[in-house]
Amino acid sequence: MSDNWLTGPVLEQLNSGVLVVDEQFQLVYLNCFLQRHGSVQLDEVRGQSLFKVFSDVPEAWLRRKFASVLELQSPSFSSWEQRHYVIKLPHMRPMTSSSQYMAQNCTMLPLSDEAGRRYVCLLIEDATDTFVYQQHLQSTLQKLEHSNRIDGLTQCLNRRYWEEQLKLEVQRALRYQQPLSLLLFDLDKFKQLNDQYGHLGGDSVLIELSARVRALLRDTDWFGRYGGEEFGIVLTNTALQGAVEVAERLCLAVSSLAVTFNECSIQSSISIGVAQLTNTGERAHEVLIGQADVALYNAKRNGRNRVVAFSPGETEFLLKTTD
Amino acid sequence: MSKVFSEEQRDCLQELINVAMGLASDKLARFLNTFVHLQVPAIELVSSAQIPAEFETRYSSTDSALVSQGFLGNDGLRGEAIVLYQLENAHRIAALLGYETDSISELEMLTDISSILTTTFLNGLATQIDNSLSYSAPRVLSSRQGNVAQALLETAYHWELALKVDISYQLIDHSFNCDMLLLIPGEAVVNIQQILTRILEEY
């Protein structure tokens, strides 16, 4: 291969790093890409130890890699996904990448010269673009996951995700024999609010009440929008008495302060039904929702802006009245 | 599948693979400084449709890994090598290779081991047929996800033929079992047949 006029310039112009060391890890060759990025001159570093010239390479790791290439005479690889870089170099996207250093895909190849001396060639490909795309993809996926869980208007959990969490929490509470309570609440006279202030007025009440309710909850509670103006809260590790106290606080937080919309002061209130998990089995969460719903119905029937806890026996009452 | 290769071609391939395995185990033994006993590898040609079911039972119950590496040679020799093994096995060989498990990511360890096994074996195969191979970087297709069958199904879909090589390395005090699948696309199968025919004629 005496195509030096061809391979020489190509090697020098290549947008990848090419580095060759002998069996003692002494530098034999560095192409232009590596000389420029690494701020070294081949003439000055030829014959020196790779680990001296690039002092922050992972020496033990690279020695093991090179040893396997020399001994097995087969290539070895390193991916930026597992090791961001082998030789710490700046990259050519200093403004648009979140990483300071070039992401590198490396290939280590066995070489020999005419005299049979053995070398290792380290090829370094700049994978910074891939790294940047991957970062974008990850953050997009995170946003997607977020929007898949969240109700756009109120920033509560959406119904599907909230129900999944309810189901999981119910199974967990049953397994560890911990108390669990459910609140279902409804904005009173929502239709009337919408008629009087318009749908934007109604929406602003929903947004404000969600914010007030959220501020009073713990991190471990699950707050979701169940329907139009109906919401659910899963209170983990909470028995009925504690859940009623929380509900009373929520009721007061909503009714004590009017919501301002377009310079109008809108007075609103919520009715809350509370139930504690008592049933077991596959459908326990559905029974719980049914019980909280009965209690909510009774809160409405008893005059709204109040909390009613479910007690067994009310089911029969409800069935009688709806018959 | 027996129609793909003639009886003679199949025997020839088995012989090439036996020798390649011998060369690989010799190299590994020198590298690892220990004796490597290698059972004569059982090879089998399987259609890609059969593959997932076959491996599902063996690899679905435990944590397992599936690593892919493409290879490309002269005369239209090309394909994808898949190494399947149980992670428990991987830690054994990792210790032998001098990896300290805390200082290196599991993925890096997996790709290294697979790459060493694949390239030493395939280089041995290539040498015998006066070919030489280049390789793509190894890629972990599945690890700890318990969906080996699914991952294989997705991979194997595009391949006409798979050459299944059961590999069992026995090291002193250690045993290491894995499966290697060489997935070969249709036109490369024809090229391999031509290579085999040429070798058979030379003898």
Give me the pLDDT at residue B160, please.
67
CATH of the domain at A192: 3.30.70.270
A210, A162 Cβ separation under 8 angstroms: no
- CA A19, CA B177: separation in Å to the nearest integer? 36
CATH of the domain at A107: 3.30.450.20
Boundary (domain end) residue, out of A78, A112, A135: A135
- Residues of chain B in contact with residue A74, where contact means CB-CB under 8 angstroms, are 115-116, 119-120, 123
The interface pTM score, or ipTM, of the predicted complex is 0.79
Domain co-membership, A180 together with A248: yes
Domain co-membership, A288 together with A195: yes
Sorted by where each begins, the domain ranges of chain B are 7-202
Q: Is position A50 within any domain?
A: yes
Number of folded domains in chain A?
A: 2
The verdict on A178 touching B (C-beta cutoff 8 Å) is no
Q: Which of residues 80-139 of A touch B (CB under 8 A)?
A: 81-83, 105, 107
pLDDT tens-digit series, residues A95-151: 666 778 899 999 999 999 999 999 999 999 999 988 989 889 999 999 999 999 999
- Residues of chain B in contact with residue A127, where contact means CB-CB under 8 angstroms, are none
Q: Is position A317 within any domain?
A: yes
pLDDT tens-digit series, residues A26-85: 999 999 999 999 999 999 999 999 999 999 999 988 998 999 999 989 999 999 988 899
Q: Is position A259 within any domain?
A: yes
Q: Is position A142 within any domain?
A: no
Domain co-membership, A176 together with A32: no
Boundary (domain end) residue, out of A105, A135, A165: A135
Find the domain containing A46 and state its range: 4-135
- Residue B3's CB is within 10 A of a number of other CB atoms, namely 6
> Does the pLDDT of residue A263 top 90, yes or no?
no
> Does the pLDDT of residue B103 top 60, yes or no?
no
| Average pLDDT of the segment spanning A7-25 | 92
CATH class of the domain at B7-202:
alpha beta
pLDDT band at residue B1, thresholds of 50, 70 and 90? Answer: very low
How far does Cα A204 stand from its chain's mean position?
Answer: 28
Q: State the Rg of chain A over Cα.
A: 34
Boundary (domain end) residue, out of A81, A112, A135: A135
Domain co-membership, A77 together with A112: yes
User: How near does any CA of chain B get to the CA of A20, in Å?
Assistant: 18
Record: contact A75-B135, CB cut-off 8 A: yes
Domain co-membership, A208 together with A263: yes
Mean pLDDT of the residues in chain A: 91
Domain co-membership, A23 together with A117: yes
A123, A16 Cβ separation under 8 angstroms: yes
Give me the pLDDT at residue A165, please.
96
Q: For A37-58, give the DSSP string.
A: HHT--HHHHTTSBHHHHSTTS-
Record: contact A83-B108, CB cut-off 8 A: yes
Q: Is position A297 within any domain?
A: yes
Q: Is position A260 within any domain?
A: yes
Q: Is position A104 within any domain?
A: yes
Mean pLDDT of the residues in chain B: 79
Domain co-membership, A120 together with A174: no
- CA B81, CA B137: separation in Å to the nearest integer? 11
pLDDT tens-digit series, residues B155-183: 666 666 777 777 776 766 667 777 888 88
B128 beta partners? none
Give me the pLDDT at residue A299, please.
94
Domain co-membership, A42 together with A187: no
> Does the pLDDT of residue A252 top 60, yes or no?
yes
Give me the pLDDT at residue A322, please.
43
Q: For B2-33, give the DSSP string.
A: TTTS-HHHHHHHHHHHHHHHHHHHHHHHHHHT
Record: contact A71-B31, CB cut-off 8 A: yes
- Residues of chain B in contact with residue A73, where contact means CB-CB under 8 angstroms, are 27, 123
Per DSSP, chain A holds a count of helices (H) and strands (E) of 11, 12
Q: Is position A144 within any domain?
A: no
Give me the pLDDT at residue B140, please.
85
The tokens describing B135, both together, are 């390789």
- CA A202, CA A187: separation in Å to the nearest integer? 10
